[in-house]
Amino acid sequence: MIREFFDGIRTLLRGFGTWRRRPGLMALGLVPGVIAGALLLTALVPLAFSLPTIADALTPFADGWIPAWRSALRAAVGIVVFVAALALTSAVFSALALAIGDPFYQRIWRAVETDLGDAPATDGGGFWMAVGEGLRLVVLGILIALFVLLLGLVPLVGGFLAAVTGVVLSGRMLARELTSRAFDARDLTPADRAALFRGSRARVLGFGVATQLCFLIPGGAVAVMPAAVAGATTLARTMLQRTPLQAVGSAPPAPGSSPETPATPAPGSRSAPLPPPPASGTPSAPLLPPQAAPPPPGPGRV
Q: Is the pLDDT reported for residue 23 higher than 60?
A: yes
Return the number of other C-beta atoms located less than 10 Å from residue 293's C-beta: 10
Average pLDDT over residues 28-45: 87
Highest-pLDDT range among 29-38, 133-142, 252-261 = 29-38
Banded model confidence at residue 259, pLDDT cuts 50, 70, 90: very low
Banded model confidence at residue 136, pLDDT cuts 50, 70, 90: confident
Banded model confidence at residue 155, pLDDT cuts 50, 70, 90: confident
156: left (phi over 0), alpha (psi -120 to 50) or beta: left
Cβ neighbors of 77 (< 8 A, separation 6 or more) are 54, 55, 58, 59, 152, 153
Q: Is the pLDDT reported for residue 10 higher than 70?
A: yes
Q: Is the pLDDT reported for residue 185 higher than 60?
A: yes
- Say how far apart CA 16 and CA 29 lie, in whole Å: 12
Per-residue pLDDT of 83-119, as tens digits, reads 888 878 878 888 888 888 888 888 999 999 998 888 8
Which H or E run includes 246? helix 245-248
Q: Label residue 153 exposed, middle or buried (CB < 10 Å: 0-12, 13-18, 19+).
A: middle
Q: How far, CA to CA in Å, does 224 sit from each of 16, 17, 72, 113, 186?
A: 8, 12, 35, 19, 25
